[in-house]
Every structure is written in C-alpha cells, then in structure tokens.
C-alpha cells in the first residue's frame, strides 16, 4: 500500500509527511477533580484527571523521600473495535507513570501518592502519546510542581518516508514507529520507544521529526494553559 | 492552513461497519499551471501560455482511452485525485500507466488533489450514488479551475458520460466527448487510438456484412456475477485460469482447484469469448456431450496448420494434441480423460495489448475513409481482433500493437483499437522487437536512477576491499576461466592446486555481483524485475547495466576482480574432503574458450602449469560426472542451434548444431558441484527462506508419447525412476549412430521445466532435482545474468556472517512472489531465445532452398512431423494437400506407421526421409518455412 502518494506527496488523510494532526485541548472537563483535561489528536480522544497527593494506601510501596506516582489507564469499551488494544493497558500505564514521574518534582511531596487517571474515549492511533499529553495538562491544571511540560508524539517510517503523527491506518501498517516524550524547554528526552528495527541514520531522521512534533504540541499546550490562566485571572477579578 | 473534516463512510467487509477517518482540507494545493500568478509554480507542469486549453478527464476516459492519452499529441491534462483513485480501484495496470504519464517530465500531466483542496472537496449528498458524487466532484474541480485561471484559459471537461456532459454544460463548464474533441484537433492518426464506446458505435459494415445473418447471437450471454458466485459456491461451476493450447487455439484448458482434473474446453463457442489468461467460471458439459466437442467448433477461416519451429526442450513447449489420430473403431472410448466444459462467465479479464498484423484485405473505396480490418495476433492463442482505422494503406504491411476493448455476444470477433506501429513485417529488427514485446521482456535502456547506483569507471580493486577481513586475497592463485568464444560477461573462473597430501584444492570463483548490487537500491529492483539476461541470436538484453556485466564484475583475464569462492579439497577420486566458502579477490591469468581449453588438453606436447591444471580438473570432472550418472542423473540431449552472424548486417551466414566438448562438460560439472554445495550450506542456515531450484519428476502422462514411440520401434524403456530411465536410455542403441540421440531428444521433451522456489513453501521431499538426481540444487554460479544467483549470493553471505540478511527474506509471500517472477522471466527469456532462433532460421533459408535429411517424429493422418537434425528444427510434412478432405493414407497407431492404400509405400516413426526446405509466402508479407518430401 502506498502511504504517501508519489504524485502529490500527500498522505492518505491529506497531510504532508511532516504535518501534525489536528490537536485540541480543553482544561477542567471533570469539575470535581483537582485537575482534568481532554486532549484530542485527530480522532483520538483522551480524558485525564488527577487528585491532590494522598497518603500512600499500600504502606509497603511508600517511598520516604519522594512521592509515589501511579497511573490508572483504561480504555472506554466503546473507544475501539479492536479488542487487542486492551491487552497493552498495563504497559501503557507504566509508560505514562514513568514519564510523568520524570517531570513532577516528586521530592517535594515525600511519603505521598499521586494517582493519575487516564481514559481513552476514542482510539485512532497514538493513544499513548495522547495520554501523556493529557496527563501533562491535567497535572498543570492541578498545579503540581513540575520541571517542565512533558509532551509526546510519535513518528513512523512508511513508504520510505519519515511520517509525523501516525493515524490509525498508518499505525496498522505495522511499520517501524518511534514514540518520543520530551521536556520541551529543557530539550531532554524522557521517553523513547520503538516498535521495530530501523537503520540508525533513518532512525535519527524519524526521531528528529518526532521531537519537532513534540515541540509543536508543547507550544500548543502552553497556549492553552496561558488561555486558562487568563480565564482564571479574570474570574478572580484580578 | 490545516482544516479538519472528519467524515464517516460505510464499507462493506462482510458486514457493514462505520469507518471514521480524518480528512484534512488544505489551502496550499496549487493549480499546476505555469502561468498562474497566485499559486506556487515550482511544481507546475501545465502549459506556460495562458491561452492554452486545459483538459480535465473523467474516470472512464482514463480507463478506456489510455492509449490516446499516452500519445504525445495530447497534453495539458489535469488528472484529479478522485479520478486517479477510481482508476486504481478499477484497473491497476491503467493506473500505473497514468502514473507514469504524470511523472514523465516530458508530458504536461498534472495531478490535482481535489479531494484535499478546501474549495473543491464535495460532501456526499443524501441519495447520491458514489458515481454521481465523483462526477460532481469532477465538475466542481473543473469550475474551480475555470474561475481560478480566468476566462482567457479554456478548461475543457472530457467525458463520454452523456448525463455528466449535460450537467456540466448547464453549470457553465465547457465539455466535450472524446471523439468530438479528437476530431476538433484534426489529426486523423489520433482518431485511430480512440476507443469507440458501444453507445456511439458506428454500424460495422465491412466485416460483418459478409455474413448473411448479421445480428445473429453467436455466443451465449455470460451469466450475471451473482449467479456465477453462487454457482461456484455450490460446486456447479468451477473457477480457474483459462489456458489456450498454443498449437490449437480452439482448445483450452482450465485448471480448477474445485476439480482435480483439468477441464478441456473445445471450440470458440464453448470458450465463450474468454481470452488466454482470463479467470473464468466453467460449467461441465453433460456426459452425453463429452465427445462431440469437435462439432461445436465454429468454423473459422483461421489457418489451423502447424508451422515449422524449433525442437522443444521440455514438456511445456511440446504441442498437445488432444486427438492425434482418429480412433481405430468406435468401440473403445478415446484416450482423453479430461472432462469437457463450457465457459459461463468471466471473473477477471486478462486483456492487454497484442502484437501482430492486419489480415490482408483490399483497400476500401475512398482511401481516406474509415476501414474495418481484422487483426491477427502473432500469439496464436489470441483470436482475431476487429479494429477501425483511417490509415489502412499504411498499416497493412506493418507489425502493429492492438488493444482489446470489448467483445459482445453479437460479434464473432472482439473489437479493439490500434495502439502503435512497430515496423515493417519481416524486417529483422521489427520482428525481434515483436518477440521481445510478446514475451514481456524489458529491453529499454536502464534509467538514470539505476545507472546512478553504479560505481564510477574505471573501477579497480581498492585497498579497503583487501583490508576487509571477510575477503580473502587469492590473487596469487592460478585462476582461469573457460567460456564460449566471444563471451564478455564471464561470471565463473576456476583454479586447481595439487596439495602435498596428494589431494587437490579446487576453487570455483564467481563474480561478486552482490558487492555492487545492494539490496533495496533501484539497481537491485530493476534486476529483480528483469530476472535474467535474455540471449537473442544477434543481441543480448542484459539484466544489469553493461559496465557491471562486461567490466566491473566480469572475471576477465589479467585484471583483479572481486569474487565469491567455493573451495573444496578433493581426493584424486573426486571425493569432497572439505568445503570452504569465502569472499575473495582474484586475478585470472587466462580467459579461455572451450575450443582453446580442449585443444590445450588434447595437445600432449603442452606441459605448462595451466594445461596441467586443466587436465587435473578434467580427470576429476570425469569421475564426478560418472558418479552423478551412476546416481541416476539423466544425460539428455537438446539440439542447440548455433548461427554464424554477419558482423555488418547481422544476417545469419551459417547455421549448425552447437558442438559439446569435454571442456564444456568439465566446467558444467564443477558449476553443478558448486551449486549443490552452496544449496546445502544456505539450506542448513536458512531452512525457511532459501531460494532453491527443483525439477519435478515427470508424470506417467507426460512420458506417454515417449513410451508410445519406443514401443513402436520395439524398444523397452523403464521410466520408474530417473536412474531406471537413464539406464534404459543408455541401452537404447539402434543400428544407426543417431538413434540414441534421437531417443534422448524425445525423452527431453517429456520432462517438465526446473523451477525456482522458496524452501519454506514445500516439504524437503519435494526439493529434489530429477534431471540431476540431486536432493537439493540451486543457482549460484551466474549472478551476472540471473537474479536467482544474486539472491543466493546474499543468502550465502548471510550464512557466513559476512552481511546481514536483507529484510525481504523474512517475508515469506514476498519471497514466493520473487521466485514466481524469476520462473516467469526465465521461461519468457527461453521462449524469446527460441523465437529469435526461429526467426533467424527463416531469414537464413530465405535465399537458400535446401535439401536435407530428416527423421520422422510423429505420424498424423495427413502426414508426419519431421525433425531436421542438422538445423535443430521440426515441422510438418504433408502427404495430402490441405484442401483435400479425404486421404488415401491409413494410419496404424500401434506401430506408428502411415501407409498409402493399395501400395507398399509406408512411412514409420524415426524413419529417415529426405526433405526439401524452402521459404514460401502463401500470403503477402507472411514468409514461412515449408518442408516437402522428396520422393
């Protein structure tokens, strides 16, 4: 199958190889939670919520000099037709958990537990990136102390072209894909996963593309947060 | 710039499911006109002048009129992405042709992504069929172009759809049908390329008028697809590929999986408009109609006679005669066991364009007018095709290409249209090109991308090559090559060194092609597509570019070259003590021809080291050969014809059999041994993805003609195994020296062809090579001219840990399809070589009527087929003139004899007769070789 039209240079959905998908974010969708956000990347739709740090439930897991970050990831039953997606749940929640732990200043909250809840409402490729982005927004919304905004994005390599932001059809091609998470301002990589093997020179191109995608998302997230802050400002009458 | 529109569509995939896909609309898609002031013109391809006419074509125009579009006189065409998408779904080959047009820098074809353009995207309307929606999208795009480029530019929508044209005109878009547009151009030769749609079909007078009942239904209607599908499901119909008998176009076979036997289809009426290669649905005929197949043949004025051709080399080339002689009496049922059938529907057409010429016909009155002519393809399996032309006078003596458009049940012949002219009939270059086209051989020069992969010339061995720890420096060895005279692509060389312990070290060095042809490069893709080099009598069509085949890879003498070596330690009895494989660098000291090598070995005065090596190798080869024959390898004979070609005119000067010398057999023996050693090695490392070569045992049926002939001359052949057959062939010695060879030639044609396969596809018991009596075999020794060897080189390199296995080997189906392509290309290359020899035979005998000796190979009711040993050809000799129905010759099938009634004149099989060979032209421009008996 031809994933990039050789005549027009467009991908199946009309994007060029280094175009990101349409992204949209909304903060405060779950009013009761301390922080919540809805994050959309194309047709992928993810909701996330977080409460303020609590006491560690299972004392055996308590860490004395930092907070324990836990993530509960789930997929809504209606989110996809593909049942096999479900089986990756444990792995994805671990990935999210580790990525978030790297950006929260956990040492400020010793002996406590942070629970992040992420649910996929609609799956259409790149769910783990969407989850991380949603979690970032959520944590920012709940005013957790963070090093930086962590954003994630994936890039793949199909039809001999590096492609940014694989959608479901491109993802199903089972080509090599690289998921990257970065701390945008600090320019540090916190997550790097690869589906299959790639020659090193191609890998570098693909990864560079993914990093650019992450930065674009970070830019957008920052705008959303700024907007939100302004809104809060006006509400408080400042 | 990014706008998003999600749209929902329903697709049928067994059940109805809702599919939601993102669909981005954008504003950075440009119109492609060079003169446009608004758009970015860097990728523009359309006309530079604003007053030009820009054509927008609809899907059916692309599908049906692709030959017209390919004509360079048609330009400034916008192909919308919606059209392209539809074409891709309907016909992939047309899609590829349009794509080639759109990427050709010489043509002004532009692809406009109307589906992603903000202004030209149309949403489905309720109650609108997909077709109507696409038509609307085309009209919207046309209107956008008109308003975008302004009034001075004419945008013309080309459509043959009446409804679409009407609506376009209503919406203010100028629209034309193909015919009216091409007529307005005033170029009559373009009109020949136009396919007439059936709705505007002109009455076809000339051809059809000769028949009294003009609109008679000749073929039965095809069953509707739904009925065919349910019929297939219930086992009433059988699906399979129709293969027309090459030697009798009125007979075809369908191999179906639902029935174990092949179904035979007799006569054009039963074939019901199916072409060779079509996937058809077949219904079995009721039992009582099983034998009157012959009566169903529509009488056709095709000359159904056999032609003189080369002696076949395998069973696949042998003519199949369903009914060789009339049964002796009505008592016993005929031998044919294939159930007869009838085509009820065509599932997939295999129509493409065909090479051939027009049937001679008188000029119609008024030369300028439209003439209807019948086109006869060179491939006899294809029925005649009716075409319409305005340049009949021009075309009558030309080889032309014609494409098929339709075949309705009212017309005896399919209708098609002229595509292009190749050249004068009978001209050697034209005919050579015809046989290349017929065999699907790509003889175009290599593209610039392919040539860019080549190392720069002059190439020489670099220090890095030598520094590579995987490459052994063998330049000190006395390596030499033995090839046919004048061979430029030398891919194998040998060395032989006596060791201290009395054993010999023998090395086979093969050109290291994979060092230059890297996987995944355009060069590799091209080579894998071509599959093999093709050897015609007067030229060679290379698989790899010339600088590789004749220089960089060729193991010429006195230059340092890279090679891949197999090195054995052999005892003086030619037993292998050890085998070693390595990449190496060699320097050949002599490139000998077979004749030179033989002369050196025979000249007892020569005692130089090279000659000693040759003699050592030869004695080892003899032992190996003997052992191989003892194991049951067949020594088959095929009369290879060798032409002497005039270097100036390329016309054949002399013709004769290729002489096989001991030196040939010596080289062959070591190549076989190397191939087997490599096969063992790669299979051990990659049991699931090795490319091997197998030769299936012939079935009883295939050996039937051999046994019948043998029985007629009182010979008892044991065919139970290859060993038994080899032994009985050895015993078959007649009174004349040529008898044994003749029997071997007959045996050869009963064999199937050897084929490539991927070891993952078959079980190990099926790997065996019948002819060589080897459990496994592969091709390793000719990577310059065969792609299979390139693959095997990569496998061997990976097995040795020199390089990584390219990812393609992990993909089973892909590997199978590569093997299939290699088999196809290999076979076509052989067919083309044979056709080329046949062509030159006719050219050779054109001015040289010859009397010669021939042997009778097969008895028929009106004559016999003879084989001419001197020239390696066979053909019919008629005892009865063709137009005389009854003959006074009686056939005795049991003894394979034909006797003239009332006399003692008898001809028996394998008998020697004297014949006269002459080129005659029964019809103008159709020269053919005729054999007549000299009594």
- A14 and B17 in contact by Cβ < 8 A? no
The pLDDT mean for chain B works out to 79
| Residue B88 touches chain A, beta carbons under 8 Å | no
B224 vs B796, which has greater pLDDT?
B796
- Residue A182 confidence class, pLDDT cut points 50, 70, 90: very high
The token pair that represents B446 in the structure block: 């290599």
Which of A8, A12, A14 minimises the CB distance to B25? A14
Q: Torsions phi, psi of B286, nearest 5?
A: -60, 155
- The band of B303, judged by pLDDT with boundaries at 50, 70 and 90, is very low
The answer to whether A124 contacts B22, with C-beta atoms less than 8 Å apart, is: yes
Lowest pLDDT segment from A145-149, B431-435, B449-453, B708-712: B708-712
> What pLDDT was estimated at residue B306?
54
Q: Is the pLDDT of residue B886 over 80?
A: no
DSSP readout, B173-203? Answer: -EEE-HHHHHHHHT-HHHHTTPPPPGGGPPP
Helix orientation angle between B739-748 and B722-731, rounded to the nearest 10 degrees = 160
A165–B contact, CB cutoff 8 A: no
**Which residue has tokens 């909250």?**
A109
State how far the Cα of A46 lies from the Cα of A132, in Å rounded to an integer. 10
d(C-alpha B433, C-alpha B410), whole Å: 35
Q: Between chains, do B111 and A8 touch, taking CB under 8 Å as contact? A: yes
> Which of B20, B22, B99 comes nearest A21 by C-beta?
B22
Tokens describing residue B523? 């060069």
Q: Are B301 and B252 in contact (CB under 8 A)?
A: no
How far away is chain B from the Cα of A13, in angstroms, using its nearest Cα?
A: 5
- Distance (Å) from the alpha carbon of A18 to chain B's nearest alpha carbon: 12
Q: Is B2 on the interface with A (CB under 8 A)?
A: yes
Whose tokens are 């547009």? That residue is: B181
**Residue B79: closest C-alpha in chain A:** A7
CA pair distance B480, B587, nearest whole angstrom: 8
* Most confident region among B85-99, B332-346, B634-648 by mean pLDDT: B85-99
Between vectors from CA B505 to CA B501 and to CA B508, what angle results, nearest 5°?
A: 170
Q: Which of B700-704, B775-779, B925-929 has the lowest mean pLDDT?
A: B925-929
- B154 touching A (Cβ < 8 Å): no
Count of beta carbons in the 10 Å neighbourhood of residue B716: 10
From the CA of A10, how many Å to the nearest CA of chain B? 9
CB B143 within 8 A of CB B171: yes
- What number is the average pLDDT over the span B507-524? 89
What pLDDT is attached to residue B932? 84
Cα(B274)–Cα(B350) distance, integer angstroms: 9
pLDDT at residue A226 is higher than 90: yes
CB count within 10 Å of CB B646 equals 12
Please indicate whether residue A72 or residue B867 has the higher confidence score (pLDDT): A72
Q: Which of A183-197, B741-755, B817-831 has the lowest mean pLDDT?
A: B741-755
Tell me: the pLDDT tens digits for B646-674? 666 666 667 666 677 788 888 888 999 99
Q: Per-residue DSSP letters for chain A?
A: --SB-TTT--BTTS--TTPPPPEEEEE--STTSSEEEEEEETTEEEEEEE---EE-SSGGG--SSSPEEEEEEEE-TTS-S-GGGGGGHHHHHHHHHHHHHHHB-GGGSTTEEEEEEEEEEE-SS-HHHHHHHHHHHHHHHTT--BSS-EEEEEEEEETTEEEES--HHHHHTT--EEEEEEETTTTEEEEEEESS---HHHHHHHHHHHHHHHHHHHHHHHHHHHHHHHHHHHHTT-
CA angle A80, A85, A91 (to 5 degrees): 140
What are the backbone dihedrals phi and psi of residue B57, each rounded to the nearest 5 degrees, phi first?
Answer: -105, 150
Place of tokens 């995944």: B520
User: Averaged over B628-648, what is the pLDDT?
Assistant: 72
State residue B888 phi and psi, 5-degree precision. Answer: -100, 25
CA-CA distance, B816 to B808, in Å (whole number)?
Answer: 11
B212 backbone dihedrals φ, ψ, rounded to 5°:
-65, -55
Cis peptide leading into B11, omega within 30 of 0? no
A143 token code pair: 């005013």
Residue B66's SS3 state is helix
Q: Chain B contacts of A124, Cβ < 8 Å?
A: 20, 22
Residue B623, pLDDT > 50, answer yes
* Residue of chain A whose Cα is closest to the Cα of B32: A8
Instruction: Summarize the confidence of residues B73-78 as an average pLDDT.
Output: 84
Test B24 with A169 for CB contact under 8 angstroms.
no
Using DSSP, state whether B348 is helix, strand or coil: strand
Mean pLDDT for the stretch of residues B852-870: 79
pLDDT digits 0-9 by tens, B574-608: 888 999 999 999 988 888 888 888 888 888 888 88
Contact B23 A14 (CB under 8 A): yes
Percentage of the residues of chain B whose pLDDT score is greater than 70: 84
Rg from Cα positions in chain A: 18
CA distances from B623 to B319, B571, B669, B725 (A): 38, 11, 10, 21
Q: Against a cut of 0.80, is the pTM above it?
A: no
Q: What is the pLDDT of residue B297?
A: 35
pLDDT confidence band for A39 (50 / 70 / 90): very high
Q: Whole-angstrom Cα distance, residue A206 to residue A209? A: 5
Helices (H), B265-357: 267-271
Residues in chain A within 8 Å Cβ distance of B113: 5, 8, 10, 14
Q: Which band of pLDDT confidence, cut at 50, 70 and 90, is reported for residue A219?
A: very high
Determine contact: A201 vs chain B, CB below 8 A.
no
Rounded to 5 degrees, what are φ and ψ at B242?
-85, 125
- Residue B23, chain A, CB below 8 Å: the answer is yes
pLDDT of residue B307: 60
Tell me the β-bridge partners of B364. none
Cβ–Cβ gap B21/A169 under 8 Å:
yes
Residue B131 has a pLDDT of 86
Is B113 in contact with A6 (Cβ distance < 8 A)? no
Can you tell me the distance from the alpha carbon of B319 to that of B314, in angstroms, rounded to the nearest whole number? 11
pLDDT surpasses 60 at B356 = yes
Chain B partners within 8 Å of A163 (Cβ): none
**Can you give the pLDDT at residue B206?**
41
Predicted pLDDT at A175: 81
Residue A124: per-residue pLDDT: 84
Size of interface A-B (CB pairs under 8 A): 48
Residue B848 has pLDDT above 90, yes or no: no
Instruction: Residue window 673-692, chain B: list those with CB within 8 Å of chain A.
Output: none
Tell me how far apart the alpha carbons of residues B527 and B278 are, in angstroms, rounded to a whole number.
28
Among B671, B713, B683, residue whose Cα is nearest residue B795? B683
pLDDT at B313: 58
Q: How far off is chain B from A139, nearest CA to CA, in Å?
A: 28
Q: In this predicted structure, what is the pLDDT of residue A83?
A: 55
Put simply, the answer to whether A6 touches B99 (Cβ < 8 Å) is yes
A14 contacts on B by Cβ (under 8 Å): 23-26, 113, 115-116
CA atoms of A91 and B684, how far apart (whole Å): 38
Task: Print the SS3 string covering B320-341.
Answer: CCCCCCCCCCCCCCCCCCCCEE
pLDDT of amino acid B287: 67
Angstrom distances, CA of residue A227 to CA of A131, A150, A219, B604: 21, 18, 12, 101
Which residues of B fall within a CB distance of 8 Å from A21? Answer: 22
Token readout for B344 is: 């009820």
**Is the CB of A8 inside 8 Å of chain B's CB atoms?**
yes
Confidence of residue B294 (pLDDT cuts 50, 70, 90): very low
Chain A residues in contact with B111 by the CB 8 A cut-off are 7-8
Q: How far apart are CA B497 and CA B507, in angstroms?
A: 9
Report yes or no: B385 and B378 within 8 Å, Cβ to Cβ: no
Is residue B2 pLDDT above 80, yes or no?
no
Of A14, A21, A124, the CB nearest to B26: A14
Span B375-402, mean pLDDT? 82
User: pLDDT exceeding 90 applies to what percent of chain B?
Assistant: 6
Mean pLDDT of B333-337: 47
Q: In chain A, which among 168-197 make CB contacts under 8 A with chain B?
A: 168-169
Strand partners, B234: none
Residue A7 contacts B where some CB pair is shorter than 8 Å: yes
Torsions phi, psi for B524 (to 5 deg): -65, -45
Position B302 pLDDT exceeds 50: no
pLDDT beyond 70 at B93: yes
Compare B579 and B367 and report the one with higher pLDDT. B579
Say which residues have a Cβ less than 8 Å from residue B61's Cβ, sequence separation at least 6: B69, B158, B159, B160, B178
Tally the C-alpha atoms within 13 A of residue B407's C-alpha that lie toward its C-beta: 25
Measured between CA atoms, how close is B4 to chain A, in angstroms? 7
Q: Which of A14, A22, A81 lies at the smallest CB-CB distance from B116? A: A14
DSSP B867-904: EETTTTEEEEEESS-TT----SEEEETTTTEEEETTS-
What separation in angstroms does the CA of B739 have from each of B475, B731, B746, B865, B869?
A: 48, 11, 11, 17, 11
Mean pLDDT, to the nearest integer, of B564-569?
A: 92
Q: What is the pLDDT of residue B308?
A: 63
| pLDDT confidence band for B73 (50 / 70 / 90) | confident
* Beta-sheet pairing, B850-860 with B912-920: antiparallel
Q: Do the chains contact at A21 and B111, CB–CB below 8 Å?
A: no
- In this prediction, residue B368 has a pLDDT band, given cuts at 50, 70 and 90, of low
Beta-bridge partners for B404: B416
B753 or A214: whose pLDDT is higher?
A: A214
The CA-CA-CA angle for residues A152, A158, A162, to 5°, reads: 50
What would you measure as the largest C-alpha separation in chain B, in angstroms?
97
Highest-scoring range by mean pLDDT, A67-76, B257-266, B726-735: A67-76
For B832, other C-beta atoms within 10 Å of its C-beta total 23
Residue with tokens 């074939």: B271
- Structure token digits, residue B206: 């000339």
Q: Where are the beta strands (DSSP E) in B352-475?
A: 353-358, 371-377, 385-389, 398-406, 415-424, 471-473
**A118 neighbors A131 (Cβ within 8 angstroms):** yes
pLDDT surpassing 80 at residue A58: yes
Question: What tens digit of pLDDT does each residue of B211-222 get?
Answer: 444 456 677 788
- Preferred mutation among B6, B10, B24, B28 to probe A, highest tally of A CBs within 10 A: B24
> Buried b / exposed e across B321-340, counting CB within 10 Å, b at 16+?
ebbbeeeeeeeeeeeeeebb
Q: Which two tokens stand for residue B903?
A: 């006399």
Q: How confident is the model at residue A50 (pLDDT cuts 50, 70, 90)?
A: very high
- The answer to whether the Cβ–Cβ distance between A19 and B24 falls below 8 Å is yes
Pick from B510, B454, B579: nearest CA to B790: B510
**B8 confidence band (pLDDT: 50, 70, 90):** low
């Amino acid at each position: 199958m031809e994933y990039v039209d050789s005549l027009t240079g467009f991908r199946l959905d009309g994007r060029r190889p280094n175009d990101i998908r349409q992204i949209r974010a909304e903060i405060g969708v779950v009013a009761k939670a301390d922080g919540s956000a809805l994050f959309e990347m194309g047709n992928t739709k993810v909701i996330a919520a977080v409460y303020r740090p609590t006491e560690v439930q299972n004392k055996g897991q308590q860490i004395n000099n930092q907070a324990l970050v836990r993530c509960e990831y789930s997929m809504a039953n209606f989110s996809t037709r593909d049942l096999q997606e479900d089986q990756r749940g444990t792995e994805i929640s671990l990935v999210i958990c580790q990525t978030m732990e790297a950006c929260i200043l956990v040492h400020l909250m010793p002996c406590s537990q942070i629970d992040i809840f992420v649910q996929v409402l609609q799956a259409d490729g790149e769910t783990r990136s969407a989850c991380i982005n949603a979690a970032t927004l959520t944590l920012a919304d709940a005013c957790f102390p963070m090093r930086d905004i962590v954003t994630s994005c994936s890039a793949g390599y199909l039809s001999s072209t590096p492609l940014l932001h694989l959608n479901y059809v491109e993802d199903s091609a089972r080509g090599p894909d690289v998921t990257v998470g970065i701390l945008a301002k600090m320019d540090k990589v916190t997550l790097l996963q690869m589906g299959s093997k790639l020659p090193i020179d191609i890998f570098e191109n693909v990864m560079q593309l993914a990093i650019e995608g992450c930065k674009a998302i970070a830019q957008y997230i920052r705008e959303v947060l700024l907007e939100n802050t302004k809104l809060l400002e006006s509400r408080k009458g400042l | 710039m990014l706008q998003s529109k999600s749209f929902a569509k329903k697709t049928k995939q067994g059940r109805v499911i809702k599919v939601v896909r993102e669909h981005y609309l954008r504003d950075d898609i440009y119109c492609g006109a060079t003169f446009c002031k608004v758009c970015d013109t860097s990728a523009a391809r359309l006309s530079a002048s604003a007053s030009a006419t820009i054509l927008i074509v609809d899907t059916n125009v692309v599908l049906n009129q692709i030959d017209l579009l390919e004509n360079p006189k048609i330009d400034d065409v916008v192909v919308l992405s919606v059209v392209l998408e539809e074409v891709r779904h309907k016909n992939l080959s047309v899609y590829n042709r349009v794509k080639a047009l759109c990427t050709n820098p010489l043509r002004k074809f532009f692809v406009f992504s109307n589906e992603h353009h903000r202004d030209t995207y149309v949403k489905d309307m309720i109650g609108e069929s997909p077709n109507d929606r696409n038509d609307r999208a085309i009209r919207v795009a046309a209107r956008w172009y008109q308003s975008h480029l302004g009034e001075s530019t004419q945008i013309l929508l080309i459509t043959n759809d009446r409804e679409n044209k009407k609506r376009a005109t209503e919406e203010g878009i100028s629209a034309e049908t193909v015919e009216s547009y091409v007529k307005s151009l005033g170029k009559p030769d373009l009109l020949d390329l136009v396919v007439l749609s059936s709705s505007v079909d002109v009455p076809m007078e000339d051809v059809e008028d000769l028949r009294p009942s003009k609109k008679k239904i000749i073929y039965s209607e095809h069953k509707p697809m739904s009925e065919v599908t349910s019929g297939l499901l219930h086992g009433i119909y059988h699906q399979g590929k129709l293969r027309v008998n090459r030697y009798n176009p009125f007979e075809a076979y369908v191999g179906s999986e639902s029935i174990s036997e092949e179904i035979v289809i007799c006569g054009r009426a039963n074939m019901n408009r199916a072409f060779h290669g079509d996937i058809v649905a077949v219904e079995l005929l009721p039992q009582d109609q099983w034998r009157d197949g012959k009566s169903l043949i529509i009488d056709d004025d095709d000359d159904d006679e056999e032609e003189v051709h080369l002696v076949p080399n395998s069973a696949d080339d042998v003519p199949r005669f369903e009914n060789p002689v009339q049964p002796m009496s009505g008592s016993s049922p005929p031998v044919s066991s294939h159930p007869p059938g009838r085509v009820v529907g065509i599932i997939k057409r295999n129509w493409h364009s065909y090479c051939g010429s027009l049937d001679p016909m008188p000029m119609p009155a008024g030369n300028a007018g439209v003439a209807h002519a019948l086109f006869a393809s060179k491939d006899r399996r294809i029925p005649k095709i009716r075409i319409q032309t305005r340049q009949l006078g021009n075309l009558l003596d030309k080889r032309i290409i014609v494409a098929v458009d339709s075949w309705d049940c009212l017309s005896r012949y399919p209708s098609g249209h002229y595509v292009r002219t190749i050249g004068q009939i009978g001209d050697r270059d034209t005919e050579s090109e015809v046989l290349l086209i017929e065999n699907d051989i790509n003889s175009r020069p290599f593209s610039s991308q392919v040539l860019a992969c080549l190392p720069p010339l002059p190439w020489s061995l670099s220090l890095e090559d030598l520094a590579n720890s995987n490459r052994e420096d063998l330049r000190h060895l006395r390596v030499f090559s033995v090839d046919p005279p004048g061979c430029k692509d030398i891919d194998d060389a040998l060395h032989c060194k006596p060791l201290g312990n009395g054993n010999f070290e023998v090395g086979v060095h093969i050109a290291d092609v994979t060092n230059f042809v890297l996987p995944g490069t355009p060069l590799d893709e091209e080579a894998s597509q071509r599959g093999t080099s093709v050897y015609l009598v007067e030229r060679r069509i290379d698989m790899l570019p010339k600088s590789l085949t004749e220089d960089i890879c060729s193991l010429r003498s006195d230059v340092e070259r890279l090679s891949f070596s197999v090195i054995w330690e052999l005892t003086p009895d030619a037993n292998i003590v050890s085998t070693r494989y390595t990449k190496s660098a060699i320097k050949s000291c002599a490139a000998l021809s077979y004749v030179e090598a033989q002369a050196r070995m025979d000249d007892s005065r020569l005692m130089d080291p090279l000659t000693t090596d040759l003699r050592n190798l030869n004695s080892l080869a003899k032992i190996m050969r003997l052992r191989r024959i003892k194991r049951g390898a067949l020594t088959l004979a095929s009369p290879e014809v060798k032409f002497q070609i005039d270097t100036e005119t390329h016309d054949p000067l002399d013709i004769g059999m290729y002489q096989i010398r001991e030196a040939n057999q010596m080289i062959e023996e070591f190549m076989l041994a190397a191939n087997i050693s490599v096969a063992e090695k790669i299979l051990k490392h990659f049991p699931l993805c090795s490319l091997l070569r197998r030769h299936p045992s012939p079935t009883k049926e295939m050996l039937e003609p051999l046994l019948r002939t043998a029985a007629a001359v009182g010979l008892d052949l044991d065919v139970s195994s290859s060993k038994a057959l080899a032994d009985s062939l050895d015993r078959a010695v007649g009174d004349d020296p040529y008898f044994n060879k003749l029997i071997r030639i007959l045996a050869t044609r009963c064999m199937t062809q050897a084929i490539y396969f991927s070891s993952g596809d078959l079980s190990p018991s099926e790997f065996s090579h019948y002819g060589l009596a080897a459990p496994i075999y592969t091709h390793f020794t000719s990577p310059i001219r065969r792609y299979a060897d390139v693959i095997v080189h990569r496998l061997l390199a990976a097995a040795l840990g020199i390089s990584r296995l390219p990812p393609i080997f992990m993909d089973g189906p892909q590997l199978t399809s590569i093997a299939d392509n290699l088999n196809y290309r290999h076979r076509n290359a052989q067919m083309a070589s044979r056709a080329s020899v046949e062509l030159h035979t006719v050219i050779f005998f054109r001015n040289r009527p010859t009397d010669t000796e021939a042997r009778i190979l097969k008895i028929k009711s009106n004559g016999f087929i003879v084989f001419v040993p001197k020239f390696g050809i066979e053909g019919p000799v008629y005892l009865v003139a063709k137009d005389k129905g009854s003959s006074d010759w009686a056939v005795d099938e049991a003894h394979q004899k034909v006797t003239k009634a009332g006399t003692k004149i008898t001809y028996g099989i394998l008998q020697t007769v004297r014949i006269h060979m002459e080129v005659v032209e029964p019809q103008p421009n159709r020269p053919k070789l005729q054999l007549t008996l000299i009594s």
